[in-house]
């Protein structure tokens, strides 16, 4: 089998130099993405039109020597597939018709995979299109993060609507999480069967939870997804990215069973050595704004990150998604420095 450095790293094999991919590497900082985006009437149509989604997924690999392609989609295709109304407003981000305790039973998990068939077709076509040594990454949003949008109707800085819902309506919240866990398992298994080499769980809103809520809302659902996927795809490689988990990171890594742990940019570089098993692969964690600023500070930080994780399996990445104002030449500089040292 062709050696895929990024996949090998997820599975625990330290490489001579860290493989690299970039969260949101297919996005608005690329002029070719902006042109392709105009060919779809809205963002969800872009995600569901395989011709366009494949094109967008491949664009960053044509510009940069990245070690992976990631499926172009969105974490909110799951609520959309469940029958919740989802739309993306220019300048406002995603807007959903919020679920209520009494409307959760109206969700339709039995229709989800059929609805997501175009996304799975994109995965199949991507695996055929990318070079054999490149890793193909699939993903979904983790249940807590997806639930915050489903309950709150949009993103928020404190996820207060979802946090209160979970406290006031624990049975309804548990039912929603059960639906999201089961649907996520089906979706990730289908991605792996369609050709994804590894899948990532995006827990984008892991912050703002106390330790009890973090255990029940983040760790347990992610653990169930990992176990559910591996029951059907033995030894499936899975990256967990619990952004903002802070002091809960080690517990998340231990209890969920993910192969590799994504670190956000607020995680100190000495954290892994002090708190994580020496053999646990980590991914991260450059501040996206350092990539915007560029220059010598970018080089120094890249070197510091590589040095900090040099004794363990490490995938170089940002600590969150690349931002639209990022200069393309800074991305090229980053990739070149990681690749050549």
Q: Are 99 and 161 in contact (CB under 8 A)?
A: no
Q: Is residue 188 packed enough to be buried (19+ CB in 10 Å), middle (13-18) or exposed (0-12)? A: buried
Query: At CA 259, angle to CA 150 and CA 179, rounded to 5?
Result: 25
DSSP letter for 18, please: -
Cβ of 106: how many Cβ atoms within 10 Å? 11
Annotated catalytic residues are 24, 28, 37, 74, 149
Q: Are 218 and 206 in contact (CB under 8 A)?
A: yes
Tokens of 285: 């964690």
Query: At CA 63, angle to CA 59 and CA 67, rounded to 5?
Result: 85
DSSP 66-123: -SEEE----TTHHHHHTT--EEEETTTEEEE----TTTGGG--GGGHHHHTHHHHHHH
Q: Which of 283, 286, 220 is nearest to 248 (CA)?
A: 220
β-strand partners of 20: 316
User: What are φ and ψ of residue 140, in 5° steps?
Assistant: -150, 165
Q: Which of 282, 243, 292, 275 is nearest to 260 (CA)?
A: 282
- CA distances (Å), origin 297, targets 286, 301, 320: 11, 6, 18
């Amino acid at each position: 089998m062709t050696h895929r450095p990024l996949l090998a790293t997820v599975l625990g094999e330290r490489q001579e130099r860290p493989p690299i991919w970039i969260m949101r590497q297919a996005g608005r900082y690329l002029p070719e993405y902006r042109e392709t985006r105009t060919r779809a009437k809205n963002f969800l149509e872009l995600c569901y039109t395989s011709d366009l989604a494949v094109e967008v997924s491949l664009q960053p690999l044509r510009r940069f020597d990245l070690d992976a392609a990631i499926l172009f989609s969105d974490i909110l295709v799951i609520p959309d597939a469940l029958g919740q109304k989802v739309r993306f407003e220019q300048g406002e981000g995603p807007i959903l018709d919020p679920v209520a305790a009494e409307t959760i039973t109206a969700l339709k998990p039995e229709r989800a995979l059929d609805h997501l068939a175009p996304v799975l077709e994109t995965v199949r076509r991507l695996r055929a299109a990318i070079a054999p040594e490149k890793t193909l990454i699939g993903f979904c949003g983790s249940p807590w993060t997806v639930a915050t949008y489903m309950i709150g109707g949009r993103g928020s800085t404190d996820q207060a609507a979802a946090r209160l819902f979970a406290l006031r309506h624990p049975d309804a919240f548990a039912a929603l999480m059960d639906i999201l866990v089961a649907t996520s398992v089906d979706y990730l298994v289908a991605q792996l069967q369609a050709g994804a080499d590894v899948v990532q769980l995006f827990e984008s809103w892991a912050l703002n939870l106390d330790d009890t809520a973090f255990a029940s809302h983040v760790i347990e659902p992610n653990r169930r997804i990992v176990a559910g996927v591996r029951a059907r795809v033995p030894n499936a490689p899975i990256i967990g990215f619990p952004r903002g988990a802070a002091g809960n990171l080690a517990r998340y890594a231990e209890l969920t069973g993910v192969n590799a742990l994504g670190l956000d940019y607020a995680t100190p570089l000495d954290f892994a050595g002090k708190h994580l098993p020496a053999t646990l692969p980590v991914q991260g964690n450059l501040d996206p704004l350092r990539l915007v600023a560029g220059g010598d500070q970018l080089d120094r930080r890249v070197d510091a990150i590589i040095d900090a994780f040099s004794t363990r399996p490490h995938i170089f990445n940002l600590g969150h998604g690349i931002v639209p104002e990022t200069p393309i030449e800074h991305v090229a500089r980053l990739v070149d420095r990681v690749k050549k040292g």
